Amino acid sequence: MSERALRGTRLGATSYETDRGIDLAPRQTVEYACQNGHRFEVPFSVEAEIPVVWECRFCGQEAALLDGDEPEEKKTKPTRTHWDMLMERRTREELEEVLAERLAVLRSGGMNLAVHPRDSRKSA
């Protein structure tokens, strides 16, 4: 008898529970639209905080809430370059002094640029 009860069904694939006698949470539907013209609705609980942006179901772009506030722009830090970081550590006068010292060493022949220091150890 138990063999016949499960015949023709896939275990775990189908739920036999029903929604009868169950009170669902109160819901509201909110409409979003993306830049490509797609419009769609998303159900939310009445108690939920509604997000201003939502991913479009059709194209994956960012969709904005219709009849809602504009999303706030995120504050981003300006990109710091190597020069900016160098100027935080040294003044322009200090940099000119270091440059003059390095140029003097190069002009005096104190550094042999043709031979790498590791190459000179191999030949010795």
Ordered structural domains, the chain, with CATH: 25-63 (2.20.28.270), 78-110 (no CATH)
pTM: 0.44
Distance CA 77, CA 96 (A): 29
Per-residue pLDDT band at 5 (split at 50, 70, 90):
low
> pLDDT-derived band of residue 2, with 50, 70 and 90 as boundaries?
low
C-alpha distances out from residue 42 to 9, 39, 85, Å: 33, 10, 47
| Lowest mean per-residue pLDDT among 6-20, 33-47, 80-94 | 6-20
Q: Please tell me the distance from the alpha carbon of residue 33 to that of residue 41, in angstroms, as a whole number.
A: 9
Q: What is the pLDDT of residue 34?
A: 92
Residue 56 in marked binding region: yes
**Cβ count near 34 (within 10 Å):** 20
User: Is 116 assigned a ligand-binding role in the annotation?
Assistant: no
pLDDT at 101: 92
* Residue 38 annotated as part of some ligand binding site: yes
105 or 11, greater pLDDT = 105
pLDDT category of residue 96 using cuts at 50, 70 and 90 = very high
Question: Is 111 annotated as a binding-site member?
Answer: no
pLDDT (0 to 100) of residue 99 = 94
- Asked if 32 and 56 touch (Cβ cutoff 8 Å), the reply is yes
Give the mean pLDDT of the chain.
82
